[in-house]
Chains A and B, each alone.
Chain A
């Protein structure tokens, strides 16, 4: 077998191992349960509120949008933190020292962060279906839409996380360069209220980034066609969704390997040592 193919298989095994270890760790279980409860809590509090101008209830409309937002959040912040931290603590360097180890490492990251979405989705979807009515209006074809929006959304957003993780000077800076922009985007991407309520230029900014389109795609999957009336242009704009997410995916696939290679090339033992000393010295 070719060593690269072999390394990709090692990476798949690595990603799976990381996933199993994550699901078993109380730390990560806590995170999954916390986000799940927070989202469900919000939906339950507003379970009887109707969305203005329709006969749809808030949970029905908000749930797909929140899923879109959480996917973006998880897939950007997850890899950003992982890369920034594993650059500092020597994980990356260890893999760099093994033949084709970096191929294995990045394959593992890709798989791990993708499948890590599953527990998060399930912890919101399963209770939602049990508690609320009319969560999925479109049957099987709706689920097909969920899957392709998810896959395209992953391809569009995960590279952003990897690039942030490669470029930030240290893990603590992921807050500034990753968390903060994502929070702002979540606020303006039509997750908690319709995007049309915002100023025109804010709407433009929101529609440049993939988060809005992931939410829109999810709404088109779960909600009845009549709900499209609430959207910009009174349409699901499926073509635009594919175009914008696709464009981000293509740029990501072209740019990310270059950024990752550049970052990995600079990895040395003394850099890891310096990061350790920096982390040990909190106050400077």
Chain B
């Protein structure tokens, strides 16, 4: 994970530049329903973080609390050194939010809207981080150059989502929130979007937090994956770490004498060595599958649904040891 400090991060002292998000014992309750029951989180500058979890697990709630759009029931939250709920407009200038647009600004064109919204960031421009983004460059980045002067009302859902992303980054944020950014993207747009996320993370040193239901996307994009289930994080780590820790068993498949065999084992290498030693050339069609993020995710969520968060979190803690 990148940890090099951005000198242009306005107002931040060297002591707090590294930690971008700090959450302690966050609780959220809607009426009688507990959605978040003690979330702890520390995020350092740089890198892409993915929030996964089943519908209703509280992903959107978490992200909205961090954005400062929703008040929490209890707990401590600090984002870029301030409580997002009471943060100043200067703080807003340092964060970016990609919203799900619907039918807003139908008479505007992408160029006009980006110029307008970008204009609000202009007083926050610094020599290290000039704000806002150049609109032509931005339009090109999200692939909307050809539609730049068309009414937004005439754009398709996928084109609108790309405009949403452009609006979210027009102020060159240090921290960017995206709630299901690729919902409704076609495969090409999705790939373009992934390039964009990498570019923002690598070149702009933007810290990115996104939610998604697409596990493949999470695996491709994220340096760090958090799985939210039952109101708490039940897993935290890179895709490989999670796969190794949680669904620790690999699957070995092979054929012998025309018969197909499947075996699950924690140590695939040792098992295969023994298998080959024992049967030698009789073994054919050998395959070893390490658990994918999808397997990990399914295991965790199923465990959570079967035995409550406790069991899943315990399993995670044991595996992490």
Contacts and interface: CB of A to CB of B under 8 A. Distances in A.
Interface of A: 1-3, 6-7, 10, 13-14, 17-18, 21-22, 25, 86, 89-91, 93-101, 104, 267-270, 272-273, 275-276
Interface stretch (B16-24, B95-103, B305-313): B95-103
B121 A90 contact: no
B69 A3 contact: no
Interface in B45-100: 60-61, 64, 67, 69-70, 89-90, 92-93, 96-97, 99-100
A270 B211 CA distance: 14
Given A10-B119, A100-B120, A101-B120, A269 B69 contact: yes
Contact of B116 (A3, A13, A272, A276): A13
B108 interface: yes
A21 B92 CA distance: 29
A88 to B, nearest CB: 8
Contact of B97 (A2, A17, A97, A270): A97
Nearest to A101: B120
Given A3-B124, A17-B108, A90 B116 contact: no
Contacts of B69: 93, 96, 267-269
A98 B120 contact: yes
A275 B99 CA distance: 14
A14 B121 contact: no
B120 A90 contact: no
Contacts, number: 92
Interface of B: 60-61, 64, 67, 69-70, 89-90, 92-93, 96-97, 99-105, 107-108, 112, 116-117, 119-124, 167-168, 171, 179
A257 to B, nearest CB: 16
B171 A98 contact: yes
Contacts of A3: 89-90, 123-124
Contacts of B104: 86, 89-91, 94
B161 to A, nearest CB: 13
A281 B104 CA distance: 19
Nearest to B85: A265
Contacts of A268: 64, 69-70
A22 B106 CA distance: 11
Contacts of B102: 89-90, 272, 275-276
Given A25-B107, A91-B105, A98-B92, A7 B100 contact: no
B235 to A, nearest CB: 24
28 contacts: A1-B123, A14-B116, A17-B108, A21-B107, A21-B108, A22-B107, A90-B100, A90-B104, A91-B104, A94-B99, A94-B104, A94-B117, A94-B167, A97-B99, A98-B120, A99-B90, A99-B92, A99-B121, A100-B89, A100-B120, A101-B92, A267-B69, A268-B69, A269-B64, A269-B99, A272-B99, A272-B100, A272-B102
A139 B109 CA distance: 44
Contacts of B64: 268-270
Nearest to B124: A99
Given A93-B99, A98-B92, A99-B93, A269 B60 contact: yes
Nearest to A100: B89
A269 B164 CA distance: 13
Nearest to A108: B116
Given A97-B99, A268-B70, A272-B99, A17 B60 contact: no
Contacts of B117: 94-95, 98, 101
Contacts of A267: 69
A1 B102 CA distance: 34
